[in-house]
C-alpha cells in the first residue's frame, strides 16, 4: 500500500472520529437543569360574605411514594356563600414556590374541576381565561348540614381545552373530606 | 421465488469480447473457500469452474451488463448482476438452501445447529423499505413485535423482548436504553444488507442478555467490483401521508484495489396515522440517518472503520399521555381516543427524541495455518430525550433525558474446517456509563463486563455433526444516588457461566434434525433494581427491588426440516425454563399522590416456563405459484403461582400465495396474504387494566415488478396492508387501551440500483 493511501485512510478515520458526539456528564454528578414544577400542596382559603373564614390543605411534601400525605378535613357552616381561592404550592425544597400564578398565566391550558358528592353544597367557577372558566376562584354555597367528599382536580389541557374536565392530563387530583355543620 | 431475483440482461452487441472476470467463491457463513463451484454467464456458454482454493477466472467476456451465476453443491445458485466494462474482480458468497420470504430469504446455516437465520437482499430492492427494524422482522415465524403505536416497535422472539434479546448491529452489541417497553432499537433499517435472527438462547457466542435470541443486523459487504456504484430507494404511504428515502454510493478504485468505501444516508417523514374511524393524533415520525464505511486490505489482512448516526423524533399518541387513574379509566371507557385533531405532520409534546451513534474500527489477520484473528473496537453514544406534555422551567428541555456511552472491545480467533473442526475462541470487554437529567426514573450508573468463550463445531461424519461451547462472564454495575449532600454509590456484581451443546443429524438429502440445549443469563437491569416513580402513559407506580438475583434460562430447541422438490417444511419446538424470571407484581394499596391514586407494581422474581411451536410450510404448486403458511404457538407459565405470564403474543397463523413470472424483461409477482391472530386469553387475572382485545384476521397484498438494464436494476412495488380497513386492537400494542390499530395503508416503493 502506498503511503498516500494510508494517509487518505487516516484522514477519513479522523474525520469520522472527530464527529463523534460526546456526553459531558459524570454519572456521580447527576443534576436536574429542568426540574418540572412539582405540586406538593393544595391550599383552600374560603371567605364567607359575613367575614367568617375556613381553610384546608392537602400536602405530600416528599412527593409520590414515601410518607403518606397530610389531608385536612374542610369544615363549612350551613347556609353560607363562600368565595374560594385555591393555591397550588411546591413545598419540596427549602423555599416554598407558589405555582398558582403560573397556572393563571397559562389559564387557556388549565382548568380546575370541582366534583362534590354532597347535595347540600354547590360550587361554581367565577373566573375566566377569556373563553372558558379556569376555576382558581369559585363560589361555594352551602345549605343544610351534611358531609361527604369534594374532589378537586387540576387539568392540563394545552390546545384541547373545551370548558369540560374530560380532555388533557391530570396534574392534581385530591379529595377533601368535607363537613357542613 | 428465487426467479424473482433472476434479473434479465441485455446481450449488447459489443465488438471487443476480451474482458476477464475473476475472483473467489467463498462460503457465505464461515468464509471458507469453495472449490469446484460452477461460475458462468447466464444464457451463454461462457463459464468456468473454481479451483481448489475457490479462485476462478473467466475470459472472453463482452462489455455490458451480465448475470453471472455461481453454483455449488449444496448451495442455492447465486445470481449477481454485474456491469462489466473492464477486467473485473468479483467474489461470490453462496449460501445453503436460500429461499425468499417477504423479500427476505431464509438461510439455514450449517455452521451453528440452532440457527434459523433470515437474510434480506440489498435493502433498497426488498419489500420492506421504509419499515422499522421491528416491523421488517414480523414475517418470521416465532418473531413478533411489541409496539407502542405505529412508530415504536421492538422485536419479540419466542415471547421474550427488551433486555432478553440482543441486537448485534454490525458486529457490535447495540447498547441503548433497551429496558423500556417503548424504547425501539435505534437502528436505521436501510443499513441492513442482511438480518439474521437466532431463535433461542445464544449467550455463549454473544454474551449475557441473549436469552430469547439474537438479531444480527449486518450491512452488505463493501463492493468487490471496480468503479462507483450506488442506489436510490423511496417509499410513500397513504397512511401517514409520507415516506422514506435512502441513497448510497460505494466504490473501489482500480488504482487502490485494497480500498473500498460506502456512504449512505436515509430520511423518513410520516404525519399522523389513521385508524379506520379517526386520526391517531401526534403519531408522526421523523428520521434522519447516515453511515460511512471504509476498509483497507484483503482477505488476508485488513482494517475497517464504520460510523453511523441515527436520529429520530417519535410522536406519542396524545390520548395516551394521561395524568392518573381517573384519566386512564376515562380513556378506557371511551370508544374513541379523547384527543382527536385533524391530520398534521407536526410532532408535538409528548414525543421522544432519540440519537444513536456507532463508531467501529476493526482489523483482521489470517495466520499461516489459515486461522483468523479479529479485533473490534466500538464506541456507542445513545441519547434519549422524553418530552412530556408538561414543559418544565426551561420550555425547550426534555422532562427526562438519558445519555449512555459504551466502549466495547472484542477479540476472536477462528479456525475454519481443519480436521472437521470449526472452532472459535474469543474475549470481550465493555465499559458503559449512563447519566440522566430531569425527573428520576433510573439512576446514573457505570457498568463493566468481561467475558471469554470457546465454541467448537465438529463434523463426525456426513450424517452427524455436533457443537459445544462454554463461556464465563463477569459483570459489575455501580449505581449513583445523589441526595443533596453527597453521592451514594451501590455496587452489584455477577459472575455466571453459560454452556451450549447441539447436534445435527441428516437423513438422506431431504431431512434434517437439529437439537440444541443452552443456558443463558442476564443481570437485572437498572429499572428492575432501582426504578421508583410514576410511569407516564402506563399510569402506574413502579418500584424496583435491589435484591434481585440474576435471571438464568435453560432452554431446549429442536427443529425438523424437510426439503423436497416442491415442498419445504420447517418445524421447531422449544422449551425455556427460567429461574429468577423478573416480572411486575401488583402491590396493594395503590400509591396515593397529589395526582390521585396509582396502581402500584414492584419487581419480583419467579420460576417461569415458556414453550411453543413454530411451523412453516412452503409448497410450490406450480413453478409460478407458491403457497407459504406459518404458524406460531406460545405458552408462558409462572410455575410458582400457576398463572399465565402477562404480555405474551397469542397464537397466530399466516397464509400467502405468491404468483411470480416473467414477461419479456420484466419479472413480476403478486402475493395476497391473510394473517390470523387469536385473542390472548391466557393472561393472569387482575393484573391488567382491561381484558385483551378480540382476535382478528387481516388481509394484505403486495405486487411488484423489476427489470435490469444496462443502467442498473429497477424495482417497483405496491403493497396494501389491512386491505379491508378493519378496525381492531392488538394485545401486543401498548396503545390498545386508547385507540384502534392503523387502518388501510397503501405503500408504493421504488428502487434503482446502479
Of B305, B341, B389, Cβ closest to residue A156: B389
CB contact under 8 A, A169 and B327: yes
Peptide bond into A175 cis (omega under 30): no
Q: Range with the lowest mean pLDDT among B55-59, B75-79, B330-334, B605-609?
A: B75-79
Q: Are strands A53-59 and A70-71 parallel, antiparallel or unpaired?
A: antiparallel
Task: Please tell me if residue A35 touches chain B, with a CB cutoff of 8 Å.
Answer: yes
Is the domain of B606 the same as that of B528?
yes
CB contact under 8 A, B321 and A169: yes
CB contact under 8 A, A63 and B593: yes
* A168 to chain B, closest Cα gap in Å: 7
pLDDT at A31: 52
Question: In chain A, what is the straight-line distance between the N-terminal and C-terminal CA atoms, in Å?
Answer: 97
Domain ranges for chain A: 39-180
DSSP H helical ranges for B72-207: 133-136, 203-206
pLDDT band at A9; cut points 50, 70, 90: low
- Considering only residues 89 to 148 of chain A, which have any Cβ-Cβ distance to chain B shorter than 8 Å? none
Q: Range with the lowest mean pLDDT among B22-36, B291-305, B463-477?
A: B22-36
Is the domain of B536 the same as that of B413?
yes
Least Cα distance to A79 among A34, A141, A129 occurs for: A141
Smallest CA–CA distance from B340 into chain A, residue: A160
Task: Please tell me if residue A53 touches chain B, with a CB cutoff of 8 Å.
Answer: no
Q: Range with the lowest mean pLDDT among A133-142, B80-89, B160-169, B347-356?
A: B80-89
Smallest CA–CA distance from B537 into chain A, residue: A169
Is the domain of B159 the same as that of B222?
yes
pLDDT above 60: residue A36: no
Spatial neighbors of B470 by CB under 8 A, at least 6 apart, are B204, B453, B454, B497, B498, B499, B500
pLDDT band at B14; cut points 50, 70, 90: very low
CB contact under 8 A, B330 and A30: no
pLDDT at A119: 92
Q: Range with the lowest mean pLDDT among A93-102, B159-168, B375-384, B495-504?
A: A93-102
Q: What is the CATH number of the domain that holds B325?
A: 2.40.170.20
* B390 to chain A, closest Cα gap in Å: 8
Dihedral sign for Cα A93, A97, A100, A103, please: negative
Q: Range with the lowest mean pLDDT among A55-69, A71-85, B259-273, B562-576?
A: A55-69
How large is the average pLDDT for residues B420-448? 89
Dist CA A36 CA B395 (whole Å)? 10
Boundary-marking domain end, from B60, B95, B130? B95
Is the domain of B439 the same as that of B321?
yes
Q: With contacts defined as CB-CB under 8 Å, which chain B residues touch A65?
A: 532-533, 541, 543, 591, 593
- Contact B9/B26 with Cβ under 8 angstroms? no
pLDDT above 50: residue B115: no
pLDDT above 50: residue B360: yes
**Arithmetic mean of pLDDT over chain A:** 83
Of B324, B338, B397, Cβ closest to residue A34: B397
Q: Tell me which of B378 and A29 has the higher pLDDT.
A: B378
**Which of A1, A14, A28, A87 to mutate to probe the B interface, most B CBs <10 Å?**
A28
Q: With contacts defined as CB-CB under 8 Å, which chain A residues touch B296?
A: 1, 5-6, 9
Boundary-marking domain end, from B95, B122, B137? B95
Number of domains present in the structure of chain B: 2
Q: With contacts defined as CB-CB under 8 Å, which chain B residues touch A28?
A: 444, 480, 482, 487, 489
Task: Read off the pLDDT of residues B637-649 as tens digits, 9 standing for 90 and up.
Answer: 999 999 999 999 9
Q: Tell me which of B9 and B204 has the higher pLDDT.
A: B204
pLDDT at A143: 94
Dist CA A42 CA A37 (whole Å)? 14
Task: Read off the pLDDT of residues A71-83 as tens digits, 9 standing for 90 and up.
Answer: 999 999 999 999 9
pLDDT above 80: residue B535: no
Q: Tell me which of A15 and B445 has the higher pLDDT.
A: B445
Of A42, A153, A166, Cβ closest to residue B338: A166
Q: What is the CATH number of the domain that holds B57?
A: 2.60.40.1120
pLDDT at A14: 59
Dist CA B115 CA B210 (whole Å)? 13
Is the domain of B605 the same as that of B631?
yes
Q: Tell me which of B251 and B117 has the higher pLDDT.
A: B251
pLDDT band at B49; cut points 50, 70, 90: confident
The whole domain housing B210 covers 104-753
Q: With contacts defined as CB-CB under 8 Å, which chain B residues touch A25?
A: 403, 435, 437, 444
Is the domain of B210 the same as that of B70?
no
Is the domain of B540 the same as that of B585?
yes
**Which of B387, B478, B595 to mutate to probe the A interface, most A CBs <10 Å?**
B595
Least Cα distance to B649 among B577, B584, B732, B730 occurs for: B732
pLDDT band at B96; cut points 50, 70, 90: very low
Task: Please tell me if residue A22 touches chain B, with a CB cutoff of 8 Å.
Answer: yes
Is the domain of B335 the same as that of B307?
yes
* B393 to chain A, closest Cα gap in Å: 6
CB contact under 8 A, B326 and A63: no
pLDDT at B119: 40
Is the domain of B31 the same as that of B84?
yes
**Arithmetic mean of pLDDT over chain B:** 85
Of A16, A60, A68, Cβ closest to residue B305: A16
Task: Read off the pLDDT of residues A94-142 as tens digits, 9 standing for 90 and up.
Answer: 888 899 998 999 899 999 999 988 999 999 999 999 999 999 999 999 9
Boundary-marking domain end, from B95, B126, B141? B95
* B321 to chain A, closest Cα gap in Å: 7
Q: What secondary structure, in 3-state letters, does chain A show?
A: CCHHHHHHHHHHHHHHHHCCCCCCCCCCCCCCCCCCCCCCEEEEEEEECCCCEEEEEEECCCCCCCCCCEECCEEECCCCEEEEEEEEEECCCCCCEECHHHHHHCHHHEEEEEEECCCCEEEEECCCCCCCCCCCEEEEEECCCEEEEEEEEEEECCCCCCCCCCCCEEEEEEEEEEEEC
Q: Range with the lowest mean pLDDT among A27-36, B71-80, B228-237, B261-270?
A: A27-36
Amino acid at each position: 500500500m502506498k503511503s498516500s493511501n494510508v494517509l487518505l485512510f487516516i484522514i477519513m478515520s479522523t474525520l469520522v472520529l472527530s464527529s463523534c458526539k460526546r456526553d459531558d456528564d459524570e454519572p456521580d454528578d447527576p443534576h436536574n437543569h429542568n426540574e418540572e414544577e412539582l405540586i406538593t400542596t393544595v391550599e383552600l382559603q374560603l371567605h364567607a360574605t359575613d367575614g367568617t373564614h375556613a381553610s384546608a390543605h392537602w400536602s405530600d411534601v416528599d412527593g409520590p411514594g414515601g410518607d403518606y400525605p397530610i389531608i385536612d378535613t374542610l369544615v363549612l357552616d350551613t347556609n353560607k356563600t363562600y368565595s374560594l381561592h385555591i393555591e397550588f404550592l411546591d413545598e419540596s425544597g427549602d423555599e416554598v414556590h407558589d405555582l398558582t400564578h403560573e397556572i393563571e398565566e397559562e389559564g387557556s391550558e388549565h382548568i380546575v374541576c370541582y366534583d362534590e358528592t354532597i347535595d347540600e353544597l354547590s360550587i361554581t367557577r367565577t373566573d375566566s381565561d377569556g373563553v372558558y372558566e379556569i376555576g382558581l376562584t369559585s363560589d361555594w354555597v352551602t345549605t343544610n348540614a351534611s358531609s361527604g367528599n369534594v374532589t378537586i382536580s387540576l387539568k392540563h389541557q394545552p390546545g384541547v381545552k373545551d370548558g369540560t374536565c374530560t380532555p388533557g392530563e391530570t396534574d392534581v387530583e385530591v379529595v377533601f373530606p368535607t363537613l357542613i355543620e | 421465488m428465487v426467479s424473482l431475483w433472476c434479473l434479465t440482461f441485455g446481450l449488447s452487441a459489443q465488438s471487443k469480447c476480451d474482458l476477464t472476470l475473476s475472483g473467489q467463491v467463498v462460503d457465505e457463513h464461515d468464509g471458507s473457500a469453495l472449490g469446484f463451484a460452477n461460475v458462468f454467464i447466464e444464457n451463454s456458454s461462457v463459464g468456468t469452474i473454481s479451483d481448489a482454493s475457490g479462485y476462478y477466472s473467466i475470459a472472453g467476456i463482452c462489455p455490458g451488463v451480465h448475470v453471472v451465476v455461481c453454483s455449488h453443491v449444496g448451495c442455492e445458485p447465486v445470481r449477481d448482476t454485474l456491469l462489466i466494462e473492464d477486467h473485473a474482480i468479483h467474489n461470490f458468497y453462496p449460501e445453503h438452501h436460500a429461499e425468499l420470504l417477504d423479500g427476505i430469504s431464509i438461510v439455514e446455516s450449517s455452521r451453528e445447529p440452532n440457527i434459523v437465520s433470515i437474510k434480506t437482499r440489498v435493502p433498497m430492492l426488498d419489500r420492506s423499505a421504509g419499515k422499522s427494524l421491528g416491523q421488517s422482522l414480523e414475517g418470521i415465524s416465532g418473531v413478533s413485535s411489541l409496539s407502542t403505536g405505529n412508530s415504536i416497535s421492538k422485536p419479540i422472539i419466542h415471547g421474550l423482548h427488551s433486555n432478553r434479546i440482543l441486537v448485534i448491529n454490525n458486529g457490535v452489541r447495540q447498547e441503548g436504553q433497551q429496558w423500556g417497553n417503548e424504547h425501539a432499537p435505534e437502528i436505521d433499517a436501510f443499513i441492513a444488507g442482511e438480518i439474521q435472527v437466532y431463535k433461542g438462547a445464544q449467550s455463549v457466542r454473544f454474551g449475557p442478555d441473549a436469552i430469547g435470541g439474537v438479531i444480527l443486523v449486518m450491512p452488505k459487504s463493501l463492493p468487490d467490483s471496480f468503479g462507483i456504484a450506488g442506489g436510490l430507494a423511496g417509499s410513500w404511504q397513504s397512511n401517514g401521508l409520507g415516506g422514506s428515502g435512502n441513497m448510497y454510493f460505494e466504490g473501489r478504485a482500480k488504482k487502490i484495489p485494497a480500498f473500498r468505501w460506502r456512504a449512505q444516508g436515509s430520511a423518513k417523514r410520516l404525519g399522523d396515522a389513521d385508524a379506520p374511524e379517526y386520526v391517531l393524533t401526534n403519531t408522526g415520525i421523523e428520521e434522519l440517518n447516515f453511515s460511512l464505511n471504509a476498509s483497507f486490505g484483503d482477505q488476508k489482512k485488513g482494517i475497517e472503520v464504520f460510523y453511523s448516526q441515527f436520529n429520530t423524533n417519535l410522536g406519542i399518541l396524545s390520548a395516551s399521555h394521561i395524568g392518573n387513574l381517573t384519566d386512564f379509566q376515562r380513556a378506557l371507557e371511551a370508544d374513541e381516543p379523547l384527543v382527536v385533531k385533524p391530520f398534521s405532520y407536526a410532532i408535538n409534546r409528548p414525543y421522544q427524541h432519540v440519537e444513536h451513534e456507532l463508531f467501529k474500527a476493526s482489523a483482521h489477520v489470517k495466520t499461516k495455518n489459515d486461522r483468523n484473528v479479529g479485533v473490534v473496537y466500538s464506541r456507542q453514544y445513545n441519547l434519549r430525550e422524553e418530552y412530556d406534555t408538561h414543559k418544565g422551567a426551561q420550555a425547550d428541555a426534555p422532562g427526562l433525558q438519558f445519555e449512555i456511552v459504551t466502549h466495547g472491545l472484542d477479540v476472536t480467533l477462528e479456525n475454519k474446517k481443519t480436521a472437521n473442526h470449526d472452532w472459535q475462541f474469543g474475549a470481550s470487554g465493555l465499559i458503559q456509563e449512563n447519566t440522566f437529567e430531569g425527573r428520576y426514573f433510573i439512576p446514573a450508573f457505570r457498568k463493566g463486563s468481561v467475558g471469554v468463550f470457546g465454541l467448537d463445531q465438529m463434523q463426525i461424519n456426513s450424517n452427524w455433526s455436533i457443537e459445544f461451547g462454554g463461556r464465563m462472564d463477569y459483570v459489575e454495575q455501580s449505581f449513583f444516588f445523589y441526595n443533596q449532600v453527597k453521592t451514594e454509590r451501590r455496587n452489584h456484581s455477577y459472575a455466571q457461566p453459560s454452556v451450549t451443546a447441539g447436534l445435527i443429524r441428516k437423513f438422506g438429502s431431504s431431512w434434517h434434525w437439529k437439537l440444541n440445549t443452552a443456558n443463558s443469563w442476564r443481570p437485572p437491569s437498572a429499572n428492575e433494581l432501582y426504578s421508583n416513580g410514576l410511569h407516564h402513559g402506563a399510569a402506574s407506580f413502579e418500584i424496583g427491588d435491589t435484591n434481585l438475583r440474576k435471571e438464568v434460562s435453560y432452554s431446549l430447541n429442536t427443529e425438523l426440516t424437510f426439503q423436497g422438490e416442491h415442498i419445504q417444511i420447517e418445524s421447531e419446538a422449544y422449551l425455556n425454563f427460567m429461574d429468577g424470571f423478573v416480572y411486575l407484581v401488583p402491590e396493594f394499596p395503590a400509591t396515593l399522590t397529589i395526582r390521585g391514586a396509582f396502581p402500584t407494581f414492584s419487581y419480583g422474581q419467579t420460576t417461569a416456563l415458556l414453550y411453543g411451536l413454530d411451523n412453516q410450510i412452503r409448497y410450490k404448486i406450480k413453478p409460478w405459484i407458491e403457497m407459504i403458511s406459518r404458524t406460531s404457538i406460545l405458552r408462558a407459565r409462572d410455575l410458582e403461582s400457576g398463572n399465565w405470564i402477562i404480555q405474551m403474543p397469542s397464537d397466530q397463523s399466516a397464509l400467502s400465495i405468491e404468483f411470480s413470472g416473467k414477461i419479456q424483461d420484466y419479472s413480476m409477482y403478486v402475493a395476497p396474504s391473510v394473517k390470523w391472530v387469536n385473542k390472548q386469553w391466557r393472561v393472569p387475572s387482575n393484573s391488567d387494566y382491561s381484558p385483551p382485545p378480540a382476535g382478528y384476521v387481516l388481509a394484505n397484498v403486495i405486487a411488484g415488478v423489476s427489470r435490469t438494464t444496462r443502467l442498473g436494476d429497477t424495482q417497483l412495488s405496491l403493497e396494501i396492508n389491512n386491505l379491508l380497513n378493519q378496525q381492531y386492537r392488538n394485545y401486543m400494542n401498548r396503545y390498545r387501551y386508547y385507540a384502534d390499530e392503523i387502518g388501510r395503508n397503501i405503500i408504493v416503493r421504488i428502487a434503482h440500483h446502479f
